[in-house]
Amino acid sequence: MHSQDLQALDRAHHLHPFTDFKALGEEGSRIVTHAEGVYIHDSEGNRILDGMAGLWCVNLGYGRQELVEAATAQLRELPYYNNFFKTTHPPAVKLAEKLCQLAPAHVNHVFFTGSGSEANDTVLRMVRRYWALKGKPEKQWIISRENAYHGSTVAGMSLGGMAPMHAQGGPLVPEISHVRQPYWFGEGRDQSPEAFGRTCAEAIEARILELGEDNVAAFIAEPVQGAGGAIMPPASYWPAVKEVLAKYDILLVVDEVICGFGRLGEWFGSLHYDLEPDLMPIAKGLSSGYLPIGGVLVGDRVAETLIEEGGEFFHGFTYSGHPVCAAVALKNLEIMQAEGVVEGVRDDLGPYLAERWASLAEHPLVGEARSLGLMGALELVADKASGGRFDKRLAVGNLCRDICFASGLVMRSVGDTMIIAPPLTITREQIDELVALARDALDETAVRLAKTVQEETTA
């Protein structure tokens, strides 16, 4: 089929996620046909460096035949069976064991789901069930953060703090309260990063006291906000948050959907920040995105209560622990271990990216360049000295993103923040290529902006 035919059918029948349907219909979608390593290819014959690892998930890169073989072998052996009604199957059991070996020491159980959103729905159910079993059903409030992303189901988007999603999706799940995010460049530059980190932790404590300690069930957060803009909190933030939470009897939920499986140079973001979560939603990199699978890693405190005191937990999905997805996830983790992928990010690729990425901070459009592990962000600014932003109508981030795509790099935009999170198998040479493409795109963005401004003044 030709690209135009596929585009026409796409326009006629396909409603894309997070998309202005009408605008895309007019523009037509890019058709990705195949991929290898860190590169995707489109139907026009372009090769594009995938600086986003799909959607933060293709951690091992594309074209891994071992994963294909794990899937086909499992499809032949047992393509489907469920884990309901006192049954299980080898892939689910082995994956559960492997995950608990990799997780922090106090985490020894997992509940499987099909996605990160379902994982966070499961979190909500488990948190409330836990406190009910503890005889504290009044503990209902969950504290989350503005601009957090926890998924797109009703529970996921209610837990998340994305204002545009809330504006479309109400009424939201009640008794979820959002506090300010530790986004220093965006919201905290009147303070030092250290002081701002503590300010944000104090906001959590203030909210706990406002809602009443006895009414607060859990605090949920991503170690580093991903979809919100690759926001690495100031170094003071997590230690201060830990101190606050330790004062009160509140569960800690650390959403590892993006940060898990090596992104930050540890198996989990919680290990990087030395956190002891009660619940850890996971997905994405768990299977390198080859098949959909997610889950919730459950710490001993919650697991013991659910097991010993819970009776039947009325919750689960047809595809919880799907055998083919589980077999691929297990093989994915085995390869990551055998190849030392996580250590490679921590000791070599992360530091290398940090050094190369930091060189972009010199660009006139860049107010800040930050990275951690293999996640990076650039803050585009109109005024480099003050960090002043561009007029929103200019949609500079989207302009830069489109220029990147056209010139062979997937770099995402969140407002005027540019983001990368490439496959963890990227090489040093490919990091050089990524940074060079990003720099060229920044140059071209500056040229186009200058033209727009000139046209506006002559008009």
The site for ligand PXG (CB under 6 A) is made up of 55, 115-117, 120, 149-151, 156, 222, 226-227, 255, 257-258, 283, 294
Exposure pattern of 385-414 as b/e (b: 16+ CB <10 Å)? eeeebbeeebebbebbbebbbeeebbbbbb
- Cβ-based nearer residue to ligand PXG, 116 or 198: 116
Q: Which residues of 76-215 form beta strands (DSSP E)?
A: 107-113, 141-145, 176-179
**DSSP label at 62?**
B
Least Å from the CB of residue 364 to ligand PXG: 27
Residue linked to tokens 């072998």:
73
Least Å from the CB of residue 261 to ligand PXG: 12
Q: Which residue is nearest to ligand PXG (CB)?
A: 116
Least Å from the CB of residue 195 to ligand PXG: 27
Least Å from the CB of residue 454 to ligand PXG: 33
CB < 8 Å & 24+ apart, contacts of 94-103:
94/326, 94/330, 95/321, 95/326, 95/327, 95/329, 95/330, 95/333, 96/321, 98/330, 98/333, 98/334, 99/282, 99/295, 99/297, 99/333, 100/297, 102/267, 102/268, 102/333, 103/267, 103/268, 103/280, 103/297
- Cβ-based nearer residue to ligand PXG, 90 or 316: 316
- Cβ-based nearer residue to ligand PXG, 234 or 292: 292
Residue 441 contacts by C-beta under 8 Å, 6 or more apart in sequence? 400, 403, 404, 407, 409, 411
- Cβ-based nearer residue to ligand PXG, 144 or 425: 144
- Cβ-based nearer residue to ligand PXG, 197 or 295: 295
Least Å from the CB of residue 168 to ligand PXG: 16
For residues 396 and 398, what is the distance between their CA atoms, to the nearest angstrom?
5
Residue 275 contacts by C-beta under 8 Å, 6 or more apart in sequence? 223, 238, 242, 252, 254, 269
For residues 429 and 112, what is the distance between their CA atoms, to the nearest angstrom?
37
For residues 107 and 412, what is the distance between their CA atoms, to the nearest angstrom?
33
- Cβ-based nearer residue to ligand PXG, 271 or 449: 271
- Cβ-based nearer residue to ligand PXG, 49 or 257: 257
Least Å from the CB of residue 366 to ligand PXG: 20
- Per the CB < 8 A criterion, the answer to whether 182 and 197 are in contact is yes
For residues 354 and 192, what is the distance between their CA atoms, to the nearest angstrom?
21
Least Å from the CB of residue 32 to ligand PXG: 16
Least Å from the CB of residue 229 to ligand PXG: 9
- Cβ-based nearer residue to ligand PXG, 120 or 181: 120
Least Å from the CB of residue 172 to ligand PXG: 16
- Cβ-based nearer residue to ligand PXG, 117 or 417: 117
